[in-house]
Structure 1
Amino acid sequence: MEKVGVTIRKIRKIKGISQKQAYSGIVSRSFATRFERGENDIQSGKLFEILNNLAVTPNEFQFINNNYKRPLMDALLAEIYEMYDNHSFSELSHWIKKHKESNSAEEKYAVAYAEILMFTFDHSIMPVTDNTYVLFVHLLEEKTWTLQEIKMVKIILPLVVKNTDVPFSIENLTRKFEKNCGNYLIENGDPFRVLNELISFYSIVFQIYLNIRSYKLAKEFKAKFLKINEHQLDLEGKITLKFWLAIYELYFGDFESGEKMIHQLENIQRLLSDKGKLNIKTIFDIRRKDAINYRKNIAMIDN
C-alpha cells in the first residue's frame, strides 16, 4: 500500500490540480511537498479537506491507495456473500477451513461471519464457535452500527433465535435496525442502499416467524414491506421487495396472484445479464411448499 501523500499526489496529477488548489488553507506548501514524498503524515480532518478539494470520496481514495484493489476485508466478505447468496454452502464450508488458521485480524473476523452464515443455514453443519459468539454479542450491545454492522446484524438474527443463552427481543432488534438504517437515509435519497438491507432484514424476520409458526407476527410484515419507499430502491431492491410481498400472498393472501408475481420476477431476472443476489427459484420452492402445508392446516382447523 502506498503512503497516503504519494497517492494524493498521484490523484492531484491525474486531475491537473495544483498544490495550491489542493492544500491552500490546510497545510503549508513545504509540508505539502514533504507529505507528497511520503515523509510527513497528516491529520484525518485535514485529509478529508484535501480529498474534498480533489473531488475524491474517501472510499475511492482507499481503493486507489490500495493499488486499485478492494481492502482485504471487503474482498473477503464479497467472496462469502457470493457463496452464501448462491447457496454454495459446501464451498463456503471449505472456505472457512482454508482461512480458519490465519493470524490476520481481517480473516478471523471474516471467518466468524462465515460461520454465522453456515449456522443460519444448518445448525448441524456449523456449531456456535467462540468467535461467532463474541461477534454477535458485541453487535447486539452496540447502540449504533456502521454499514458493515448493519449487514452483519441481519445474518445474526437466526442465530440469536436459536441460541437460548442470549435473551433478546426480535421486536427491539427490529426497531434498532430500522433506526440505524434511518441514519443513512437522506431526504428523497438512499445513497448507501440501506433500504436493500432493510428489506433483507425484514425478509429474515418474516421467515423466522414462519419457521417458528408465529403466523400472527409474520402477518404484520406486509405493512412493513409496504412502508418502504419503492422510488428510492435500485432494481435489485425493487425485485426483492416485490418477491417478499408475493411470498406473503402465498401464505396469507391470494396464492395464485403470489405465484404469478414470482414467475414475472423470474422472467425479469432472465432478461438481465446479472441476475442479482436473490435466488428466487430456491426460496420460492421452499416457501411454496411450506405455504401449501400452512393452508392445509388452516383448512383442517376450520373444518
Structure 2
Amino acid sequence: MSTIGSTLKQIRQAKGFTQKEVYGAIVSRSFASRLESGQHDIAAEKLFAILDRLGVSANEFRFIQNDYQPTATELARSQVMLAYDQQNFPQISHLAAKYAHSENPAEQRIAVVANTLIMAFDHRTMAITPAMETLWQQIALTKTWTLQEIDFGSILIVLTSLKQTPLAATIRKYHLTCDRYVSAAADPFRVMDSRASFDLVALQQLLSEKAYPAAKAFKLQLLAGHTEHLTSDGILNQQLSLWLWESYFGETARAQSLGNALRQMPTPRFHLGIHALLHAWEGRAQQYRRRNISDHR
C-alpha cells in the first residue's frame, strides 16, 4: 500500500493540479513537498480538506492508495452480498467457510453474516450459534449505529427474529440511523436504497410473525424519509413493499396493477428472486383475505 503522501501526489498530478492549488492555506509548501515524498504524516482534518480540493472522497482515496483494489474486508462483504442477491447459496457457504478461518476479525464477522443469510433462507435450521450471539450482542449494545449496521439491514431482521426481540425496536433504531445520514439536500451513501431494502424484509417479517396491526401501520414507514433520493434499485424494493402491503390490506385492483407492472419489468441480476417473492406472498395474501372475510361474516 502506498503512503498517504505519495497517493496525494499521484492524484494531484493525474488531475493536473499544482501543489499551491491543492495545499495552499492548508499546509506550507515545504511541508507539502515532504508529505508527498513520504517524510511526513498529516492530521485527519487537514487531509480531508486536501481531499476536498482534489475532489476525492475518503473511501475513494483509500481505494486508490490500495492500488485501485478494495480492502480485504470490503471484498469479502461484496462477495457475500452479491452471492445473496443472486440467491447463490453454494457460493455463500463457500465464502462463509473461507472467511471463518481468517485472522482478520472483520472477515470473521463477514463469515457470521454469511451463515446468518443461509440460515434465514433455510428455516429448518433456525437456531442461533455462539458466533451469531456474539454478533448480536455487539450490535445490540451499540447505542449509535453507523453505515455498517445500515448495510447489514437484513441481518438485523434475522438476528432480531432469532433472539425473539420485538421487531419494532430494531425498525425504529434503523430508521433513526438512516435519518442521520440523509437529508433533503443529499444522500451521499445511498441510505434510502438501503432503507427500502430493509423495509421490504421488515414487512415480510411482520407478516410472517402474524403481527398484522403493525404490518398494516407500516405503510407510513414505506413512504417516509427522503424518498426523492431513491435510485432504480430503491424504487423497485419500495414498489415490492407497496405491492405486498396492498395485497394484504389495500385494494385488490391496486395490488394486481402493481404486481403486473413488477412482473413485466426486466429482472436485474440483483433481483433474481422477484418473481419467486411475488408468487409466494400472493398466495399467503389471498389466504389472509379469505380468512378475514370469513371471520367477519
Q: Normalization by structure 2: what TM-score?
A: 0.91
Aligned partners of 2:264, 2:67: CA distance in 1, in Å?
A: 39
Q: Secondary structure at the match of 2:158?
A: helix
Instruction: Give 1:173 shift.
Output: 2.2
Asked whether the 8 Å contact 2:153–2:194 carries over to 1, the reply is no
Give the whole-Å Cα distance in 1 for the aligned partners of 2:279 and 2:266. 17
Using the TM superposition, give the Cα deviation of residue 10 of structure 1 relative to its aligned residue in structure 2, in angstroms.
0.3
Paired AA for residue 176 in structure 1? K
Residue 291 of structure 1: how far off its partner (Å): 1.3
* Corresponding residue to 2:187 among 177, 190, 194: 190
Structure 1 residue 228 displacement after superposition: 4.2
Which residue in the other structure is 1:59 paired with? 59
1:156 aligns with 2:156: yes
Structure-to-structure mapping, 1:174-253, within 5 angstroms: 174-253=171-250
> Residues 227, 106 of structure 1: CA spacing in aligned structure 2 closer, same or farther, 3 A cutoff?
closer
Deviation string 1:78-107 (CA, Å, 9 cap, x unpaired) is 111111122222321222122221212332
For CA contacts below 8 A with separation 6 or more, give which structure has more relative contact order.
Answer: 2
Residue range with higher mean Cα deviation, 58-67 or 122-131 = 122-131
AA paired with 1:263?
N
Paired residue type of 1:297: R
Secondary structure of the corresponding residue to residue 42 of structure 2:
coil
Q: Structure 2: any 5+ residue segments left out of the alignment?
A: none
Instruction: State the match for 1:145 in structure 2.
Output: 145
Distance 1:134 1:289 in 2: 37
Counterpart of 2:115 in structure 1 is 115
Q: Is the 8 A contact 2:160 2:166 kept in 1?
A: no
Matched, 1:301 2:295: yes
Contact 1:118/1:126 (<8 A) preserved: no
Residues 42, 192 of structure 1: alpha-carbon distance in 2 compared, 3 angstrom cutoff: same
Residues 9 and 36, structure 1, Cα contact 8 Å, conserved in 2:
yes
Give the Cα separation in 1 of the matches to 2:109 and 2:19.
Answer: 40
* Compared CA separation, residues 269 and 79, structure 1 to 2 (3 A): same
For normalisation by structure 1, the TM-score amounts to 0.89
**How big is the alpha-carbon RMSD for the aligned residues of Structure 1 and Structure 2?**
2.1
**C-alpha offsets along residues 189-212 of structure 1, whole Å, 9 cap, x if unaligned?**
322221122222222221112111
Q: Contact 1:119 / 1:126 at 8 angstroms: preserved in 2?
A: yes
Does the Cα contact within 8 Å between 2:116 and 2:158 map onto a contact in 1? no
Contact 2:192/2:227, CA 8 A, preserved across alignment: no
Q: Contact 1:144–1:180 (CA<8 Å) still a contact in 2?
A: yes
Q: CA deviation at 1:131?
A: 2.5
In 1, are the aligned partners of 2:203 and 2:241 still within 8 Å (CA)? no
5+ long unaligned stretches in structure 1: none
SS at the partner of 1:227?
coil
